[in-house]
Amino acid sequence: MKALALVLAVVFFIIAILYATGVLQVASNHGGPHFSHAALFAVLGVLSLIWMRFQTQPARRL
């Protein structure tokens, strides 16, 4: 599951960059960057990294 979370994070960050630069236009009538979509995918990327962190074993406490 860690690998899946990391792959999803990378994909979400790439999509966020493409939306922010205006390269990616999915279901849109006008050109230009879509910062709200970029912010959404950036948040999804961060959440995927948090998910990856929770997949690791907790540190042992003595």
Q: What is the pLDDT of residues 3-60, one digit of tens each?
A: 999 999 999 999 999 989 988 777 667 777 788 889 999 999 999 999 999 987 777 7
Residue among 46, 38, 40 at smallest CA distance from 22: 38
pLDDT at 27 (0 to 100): 65
Q: What pTM was estimated for this model as a whole?
A: 0.82
pLDDT at 47 (0 to 100): 97
CA distances in angstroms from 48 to 2, 14, 20, 32, 58, listed in the order given:
9, 13, 19, 27, 18
